Structure 1
């Protein structure tokens, strides 16, 4: 990778050009690893460069990794060499599958991903939570300017929506929905506001709320996850492999403000003894530690 950057620096003073060349070479290597081949047309169409530029990119990659690539005249494709070893990318199955997921979710069109030959695939559909762009913009502007903003919010603890002042300082995603993390001037605490439940916005005003006092947002906690002990030893082993556990433990660091959502997402919000191990494959190993951390933050906020 260092050689590429040095070559790019020698050939051009433009950071954009240097980054562009490196990106195109990574694209070639991605195609070689996952699909075994590419041709010059792939580079031209995906990056919008000229044929001579695409040819230059291919020659540059051949110079860098001559054993990784060869030309197959019968296919009229450059194909993966027998001694292929990636030098620019770290092959990542999650990155590949995320591109398929982005296609399924409608986030990207197939031509916008690096995948040329998509396998037959589908994904379980989930309801798409709607976020009004104008209301999101209002929240973003309040975050960027450090302002309080008056919002009409429908909570699930009040029968009707109420107008209140909040001072947002961050956005958070719980795996399904986007929240505004904000100080609530009505309840006088930092809390999450689901953006789709913000039904309207009014004026803003300067405010000096310090986000560093949002202890649940600033502090992190480590979840220690293990296989359900009620599984058989071989079942526990495959769970360890599935989750990438080390010595039977997976550590997940998250903000304290996200601990409720993480528990819920992983099915750890219910006593594991109430569920069959075949349905709940993992357990939380340090539940008491997390509960103590959450309680200490709550007590600190109430005394602030």
Structure 2
């Protein structure tokens, strides 16, 4: 919503009157800037959310209230290989999820030498940080599992799904990861690690859906035993490793 210059000036002056020393006019820059005593009074912006918005704007994406993002520093992100996503297949998967229908796919898994025909019932999408998956019931294996979208070679909508998303226990159930700084770090290194991961009383708790547990552990470097790695390379450890790995059906590292 646009406002007039006169209304904007009135609002700024009212703010300065209510909160002296929080805002002042910089004549050289010809704009209002924050004063040394500035603190937010009306909204609190999450720093991580703000940085994500800046990164999205830098990529040319549409971001809500982007007009308020005045300062745009240069932003770089990792260069990752583009995933081979087929438009028609992605559309078919989304339609199957929304319309509660089955999907007949030709799928190349890494456990088989050649593609095979599968009938699945997708109900959701998930991203592991690198790849997109369809969370679906597999009629062949009679279990809910993940199917990598880029490994689907063909996809065609089928009849009504026979399973409800609520039956996917690994999708509905969660587990909490208790993350702490590596005990072999120095006091200063542990302190900065606790700040880096937003820990409270030396612990950060991360609630994870069980179907995403493996991907989360791998992304955090917690999927293997930390002992062979230097603490300076693997900054964090899992305090409740036995409970977490039991959820994966195996012993902790």
Which residue pairs with 1:56 in the alignment? 7
**How far apart, in 1, do the equivalents of 2:12 and 2:102 lie?**
53
**How far apart, in 1, do the equivalents of 2:28 and 2:153 lie?**
62
Q: Secondary structure at the match of 2:248?
A: helix
Indicate if the aligned counterparts of 1:99 and 1:113 stay in contact, CA closer than 8 A: no
Which residue pairs with 2:246 in the alignment? 292
| RMSD of equivalent CA atoms | 2.6
1:99 matched to 2:50? The reply is: no
Give 1:57-206 correspondences, 5 Å limit. 57-64=8-15, 66=17, 67=19, 68-73=22-27, 75-81=29-35, 83-103=37-57, 105=59, 107=61, 114-206=68-160
**How far apart, in 2, do the equivalents of 1:155 and 1:106 lie?**
34
Q: Secondary structure at the match of 1:204?
A: strand
**How far apart, in 2, do the equivalents of 1:212 and 1:100 lie?**
36
Q: 1:181 to 1:113 in 2, by over 3 A?
A: farther
Q: 1:121 to 1:203 in 2, by over 3 A?
A: closer
**How far apart, in 2, do the equivalents of 1:211 and 1:205 lie?**
16
**Unaligned ranges ≥5, structure 2:** none
Q: Secondary structure at the match of 1:167?
A: strand
Q: 1:232 to 1:83 in 2, by over 3 A?
A: closer
What CA deviation, in whole Å up to 9, does each residue of 1:125-183 have, x standing for no partner?
22232422322111111111111111111111111111211101111111121111000
Q: Which has the higher helix share?
A: 1
Alignment TM-score, normalising by the size of structure 1 = 0.72
Structure 1, 138-147 or 196-205: larger mean CA deviation: 196-205
**How far apart, in 1, do the equivalents of 2:51 and 2:156 lie?**
42
**How far apart, in 1, do the equivalents of 2:16 and 2:163 lie?**
54
Matched positions, count:
246
Which residue pairs with 1:269 in the alignment? 223
